[in-house]
Amino acid sequence: MKLKGKKALVTAAGQGIGRATAELFAENGAEVYACDINQDTLNTLNGMTTIRADVTKKEDINNLYESTGGVDILFNGVGFVHGGTILECDDDQWDEAFEINVKSMFRISKKYLPYMIDQNYIYSLKNI
């Protein structure tokens, strides 16, 4: 995978799949913007621009876009699951998971897609 000349935004880049994705994109030549809610985990990343943001907040998404501008690749790595089964999940826990897993993806995609459409290049991934 050769990504030289491509700009990539990876959310939840501080750990897990998001981190592995950010590192892989950077290793393959992309200019990576690594976003996470946890500044401490961002501080451990090298070779990319790190930005602390809570992508469940519209203001943070707007500030993130101001920092990155349009990108070629959008990796929505943010995800959260409450412990236990669906039978053990109450309405508040479900609402929180939906806000994190679905609404954040909708909002950040809505912000970044116009640039990607203008470039005739849309590459967006979601990890759930």
Structural domain contains residue 115? yes
Structural domain contains residue 2? no
pLDDT tens, position by position, 79-120:
888 888 889 999 999 999 999 999 999 999 999 999 999 988
Structural domain contains residue 39? yes
pTM of the complete model: 0.90
Q: Which pLDDT does position 81 carry in this prediction?
A: 84
pLDDT tens, position by position, 10-43:
999 999 999 999 999 999 999 999 999 999 999 9
User: Domain residues for 15?
Assistant: 7-126
Q: Which pLDDT does position 80 carry in this prediction?
A: 87
Give the ranges where the chain is alpha helix by DSSP (H): 16-27, 39-42, 58-68, 91-98, 104-118
Structural domain contains residue 12? yes
CATH number at residue 122: 3.40.50.720
How many structural domains does the chain have?
Answer: 1
Structural domain contains residue 1? no
